[in-house]
């Protein structure tokens, strides 16, 4: 297993640790969980950079890297839903976008086409990570609300852009 894949696997293993720390609820557990979340997020940046720069792209990485990223983000968001910091409808939008994009990628792959992540998707991922990190800190309610809207709006925009740029993948005339 190459270094990029090891980092991806580490991120996958950090997700249950992140959750356990959150639910143990010991003093400052939220900050320990935040540290785990930040480290996991950094492995996402690092493993992708290593895989591309060293030509270590593997099927494992192509599958597990985006999955680990999505599970980490949705896990944090669901914890915030449980604690009244993110409305469930916002998480539903994020999950819907991820399923829709993954589905379109599958259809494209059946036709021999690979659809790479676009710029807006990278902005969505980065802004979501930053907002989630902020939300672990003692921030005013209005900042929390701004973070929720940044997550929702970047998610909707990147999803719409993704579908518009790749609308030829689907045969919409057969609806």
3-state secondary structure of 59: helix
- Average pLDDT, rounded, for the chain: 93
Q: What would the pLDDT profile of 119-175 be if each residue is shown by its tens digit?
A: 999 899 999 999 999 999 999 999 999 999 999 999 999 999 999 999 888 877 766
Q: Which of 38, 59, 83 is the last residue of a domain?
A: 83
Examine the domain organization and report whether 93 and 163 are in the same domain: yes
Domain limits for position 130: 86-175
Instruction: Indicate if 60 and 21 belong to the same structural domain.
Output: yes
Same domain, 20 and 41: yes
Same domain, 12 and 54: yes
Last residue in a domain, options 83, 115, 149:
83
What is the tens place of the pLDDT at every residue in 85-103? 999 999 999 999 999 999 9
Task: Please work out, in degrees rounded to the nearest 5, the angle formed at the alpha carbon of residue 111 by the alpha carbons of 106 and 113.
Answer: 75
Residues 108, 79 within the same domain: no
Cα–Cα distance measured from residue 127 to residue 21, given in angstroms and rounded to the nearest whole number = 24
3-state secondary structure 98-150: HHHHHHHHHHHHHCCCCCCCCHHHHHHHHHHHHHHHHHCCCCCHHHHHHHHHH
Same domain, 13 and 74: yes
Quick one: angle between helices 59-82 and 119-135, nearest 10? 40
76 and 92 assigned to the same domain = no
pLDDT at position 36 over 90: yes
Residues 64 and 21 in one domain: yes
Identify the domain boundary among 83, 110, 130: 83
pLDDT tens per residue across span 151-164: 999 999 999 999 99
Structural domains of the chain, count: 2
Q: Do 139 and 76 fall into the same domain?
A: no
Judge if 59 and 123 occupy the same domain.
no
Whether residues 57 and 133 fall in one domain: no
Q: What is the pLDDT of residue 175?
A: 65
Are 92 and 48 contained in the same domain? no
Q: Backbone phi, then psi, for 55, in 5-degree steps?
A: 55, 50
């Amino acid at each position: 297993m190459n270094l990029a894949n090891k980092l991806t696997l580490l991120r996958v293993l950090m997700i249950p640790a992140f959750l356990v720390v959150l639910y143990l609820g010991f003093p400052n557990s939220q900050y320990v969980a935040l540290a785990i979340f930040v480290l996991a997020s950094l492995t996402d940046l690092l493993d992708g950079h290593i895989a591309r720069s060293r030509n270590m792209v593997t099927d494992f990485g192509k599958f597990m890297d985006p999955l680990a990223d999505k599970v980490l983000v949705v896990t944090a968001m669901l914890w915030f839903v449980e604690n009244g910091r993110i409305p469930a409808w916002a998480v539903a939008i994020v999950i819907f976008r991820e399923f829709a994009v993954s589905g379109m990628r599958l259809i494209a792959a059946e036709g021999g086409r690979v659809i790479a992540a676009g710029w807006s998707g990278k902005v969505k991922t980065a802004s979501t990570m930053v907002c989630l990190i902020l939300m672990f800190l003692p921030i005013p309610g209005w900042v929390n609300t701004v973070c929720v809207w940044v997550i929702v709006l970047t998610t909707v925009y990147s999803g719409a852009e993704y579908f518009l740029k790749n609308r030829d993948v689907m045969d919409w005339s057969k609806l």
